Amino acid sequence: MKDYEIRAQKWLSEEFDAETRAEVKRLIAEDPATLEDAFYRNLEFGTGGLRGIMGVGTNRMNRYTVGMATQGLANYILAHKAMVPALKVCISYDSRNHSEEFAHIAADVLSANGIAVCIFDGIRPTPEMSYSIRATGAVAGIMITASHNPKEYNGYKVSWTDGGQVVAPVDKEIVEEVAKITDPSMVKFKADGPAGKITVIGAEIDEKYLADLMTLRLSPEACERHSDLGIVYTPLHGCGVRLIPEILRRCGFKNIIHVPEQDVSDGNFPTVVSPNPEESSALKMAMDKADETGADLVMASDPDADRVGIAVRDPEGKMVLMNGNQTAAMLTYYTLTRWKELGRLDGTKYVVKTIVTSELLTDICKGFGVPVYNVLTGFKFIAKVIKEKEAEGGEFICGGEESYGFNVGQFVRDKDSQATCMMIAECAAWAADQGLTMYGLMEKIYKEFGYRKEGLVSLVRKGVSGAREIQQIMKDMRANPPSELCGSKVTKVIDYLEPEKTGQPSSNVLQFLDEAGDIVSVRPSGTEPKIKFYFGAKGDDADTKIAKLKEQFVS
């Protein structure tokens, strides 16, 4: 028998429930290809947690793999209990299929290990989970979500004492503990002794969270003057429906327009192919609603409400999508402008961006004399800088990444679409005071700091063969890096597998920079079966260069 067949046979034992055993038997008899993919490996608990397709098998998200991950996390916490603030973990979950079930399994396992649990009474966004860790004095947080992935996926994300996702060395140490749990029989699914208390939390944390976010406002008077701003908002069937319309109302906006079909929290995401605000199709219903109602602005959050995509009206009155780089640039420009006007830029404040996010943010920060820190892809690295600088007396202004994640202030140590939607609406009201639309504001920024254009291509390569192909692409690029980008000489190659040269943690990322200021970054996704190519071009011909770069790298 092959290794995956041996693993599958183990799942026919009595320690697995009848439904699981029946499905494994069916795969053995009827679907050998799916059986192999479900059992050819253990679902990897990486530095960001778990993410995978739901179903039976060692390579799937199910009650057993969730239980094993939680047992490993519990073992790590208990081994370090002398150094943690409290034996308490906060748990939240989104609207995905099985999210609530997985959340309660995690709560039961932690409780069975004598660890107290604060679990939300219903779906809540990832950023509120982050906020709740410090609000309750917990050591960690678990969020059951697969973010923007298609409906067949789910995931398990771990955050630490500061509310940020786990980073080195804690991340790797937790991974090592989880790897030691090799079989569900090693999991305490139920207490055989004193159990940790499970407390249900909800409205009281909502109120604290919203109240703190409201203190971040910069232009309340502009919001009052433009309270009739037409805003279409959609949660794309996810968590954002609970709090984003509420915070917009608290900011004084009275013309908030819903997409009723998408307000329904449904893990099947019935109105979209994928609940990803990066994809234009996900915003189609909201943009149609904007045209129907004459609204000025469209905002869409992903299922766990940490990222947001927007659409605005162009000079001809057509709704057009803004990408994550543009949204981050507008919010950075707006925030720095207001902080300067309010006399709050005193040299201790700073901005953080990821290495694949537009250098336009760097140019904006330089224009305001504000330091900007570049970090690896992932908001956990932004949170790490916030934690370090906070200890030194520094204050985080804002920060973002090209994949539609942004945040302001220090209350939440993750990207936050509640705070971001609030600031987008406020920015639109402030721009209106200047006689500008959001589109006009973006044009103003380009005129002041120079035109830049970004592009992204993701190549999906699933399964065992796909993983090998992605590895080969990276190997070939290291062996034969490009000498030119659009005819401009490559002057620098950065390999992030060489931390001694980059000053960043080791990461499988390559960057190529040319004389003209263009940049190409290549990285395999850490959460999806993809390899991503990020293109950034500078100058009036940037649009043309982006097309050429895509042809050069992925044709």
pLDDT score for 232? 98
256-282 tens-digit pLDDT: 999 999 999 999 999 999 999 999 999
Contact 178, 68 (CB under 8 A): yes
Q: How far apart are CA 52 and CA 54, in angstroms?
A: 6
What is residue 194's predicted lDDT score, i.e. its pLDDT?
Answer: 80
Residues whose CB is less than 8 angstroms from the CB of residue 329 and which lie 6 or more positions away in sequence, other chains included: 358, 360, 361, 364, 442, 445
Per residue in 323-381, pLDDT (tens digit) is: 999 999 999 999 999 999 999 999 899 999 999 999 999 999 999 999 999 999 999 99
> Across the strands, what pairs with 506?
none
- Tell me what the mean pLDDT of segment 27-46 comes to: 94
Domain 325-449, second-level architecture: 3-Layer(aba) Sandwich (3.40)
pLDDT, residue 463, reads 80
Q: Is 147 a catalytic residue?
A: yes
Is the CATH code 3.40.50.300 the one for domain 453-554?
Answer: no
Q: Confirm whether 41-201 and 325-449 share one CATH topology.
A: yes
Nearest to 381 by CA among 471, 499, 276, 474: 499
Domain map (residue ranges) of the chain: 41-201, 217-319, 325-449, 453-554
The band of 20, judged by pLDDT with boundaries at 50, 70 and 90, is very high
Long-range residue pairs from 485-492, CB within 8 A, at least 24 positions apart, any chain? 485/512, 485/514, 485/516, 485/518, 485/520, 485/545, 485/549, 485/552, 486/514, 486/516, 486/518, 486/537, 486/545, 486/548, 486/549, 486/552, 488/514, 488/515, 488/516, 488/518, 489/514, 489/515, 490/514, 491/515
pLDDT digits (tens, 9 = 90+) for 157-193: 999 999 999 998 999 999 999 999 999 999 999 988 7
**Cβ–Cβ < 8 Å for 516, 488:** yes
Q: Give the number of residues written for the chain.
A: 555
Q: Could you tell me the pTM of the whole model?
A: 0.94
Strands 319-322 and 308-313 come out as antiparallel
Query: Cα separation of 34 and 300, whole Å?
Result: 34
Which of these, 286, 221, 230, lies nearest to 253 by C-alpha position? 230
Of 423, 356, 411, which is closest to residue 386 (Cα–Cα)?
A: 411
pLDDT > 70 fraction of the chain, expressed in percent and rounded:
100
Pick the range with the lowest mean pLDDT from 76-80, 166-170, 234-238, 326-330. Answer: 166-170
Please say if the pLDDT value at position 414 is more than 80. Answer: yes
Q: What is the CATH number of domain 41-201?
A: 3.40.120.10
User: Annotated catalytic residue: which of 111, 132, 147, 301?
Assistant: 147
Per-residue pLDDT band for 525 (boundaries 50, 70, 90) equals: confident
Burial of 155 (0-12, 13-18, 19+ CB in 10 A): buried
For residue 224, the model assigns a pLDDT of 97
From CA 53, how far away is CA 43, in angstroms rounded? Answer: 10
Taking CB atoms within 8 Å and a gap of at least 24, the contacts of 58-64 are: 58/7, 58/11, 61/98, 61/102, 61/153, 61/154, 61/155, 61/156, 62/20, 63/101, 63/102, 63/105, 64/16, 64/20, 64/184, 64/187
Across 17-133, where does the E strand assignment appear?
50-53, 88-93, 116-120
Which CATH architecture group holds 217-319?
3-Layer(aba) Sandwich (3.40)
Q: Is the pLDDT of residue 555 over 80?
A: no
Q: What is the pLDDT of residues 97-137, one digit of tens each?
A: 999 999 999 999 999 999 999 999 999 999 999 999 999 99
Tens digit of pLDDT for each residue in 476-516? 999 999 999 999 999 999 999 999 999 999 999 999 999 99
Instruction: Inform me whether the pLDDT recorded for 467 exceeds 90.
Output: no
